[in-house]
Structure formats: structure tokens, C-alpha cells
Amino acid sequence: MQFILQLQGQSRIFLFKWIKNTNHSNYYFFLLLVFWSTLTKLKMRMKLNNLISQKSAIKGLIKEMQSSYFKTRKISESDII
């Protein structure tokens, strides 16, 4: 601590900011460790919800295409591809 008190001006400000930033990064790292499993579960849940919504959209498109086929008994060229 005596070394810090001997510093003057810019050096002292830089050292205090560096200590403050180090403390903040340690705090954020600790929070990341604490909530790591929660964050991974949340990420997986978001991916699963996205897949479920894609599945329901595809099911809706298939139903729409099947109903139009059974009404007209024709398949358009764009539906085949």
C-alpha cells in the first residue's frame, strides 16, 4: 500500500482503475461459474423451442399442401421441388 501512496498523477489513476477492473472481472467470472448450468439449460431450452416451432410450421405447410392436393388432385411444379 505504501507503494501506491508514493505514485503520482496518471500512474496512480491507472493503478486504481486497473485494480477496479480486476475486481469487476473476478466478480463476473464468479457469477459465470455460479450460473453456468442455468445458462446452458436456458440455451438448450431456447434451441428446443426453436425446433418445436419449426416442426409446427412444417406440419402446417404439409397439411396445407395435402388439402390442396385432395381438393384439386393436382400437384403444382413448385410444390414438388
6 or 38: which carries more pLDDT confidence?
38
Whether the full predicted model's pTM is greater than 0.85, yes or no, is no
pLDDT of residue 17: 80
Report the b/e string of 32-58 with b at 16+ CB within 10 A. eeeeeeeeeeeeeeeeeeeeeeeeeee
Q: Where are the domains of the chain?
A: 2-80
Q: What percent of the chain has pLDDT over 90?
A: 46
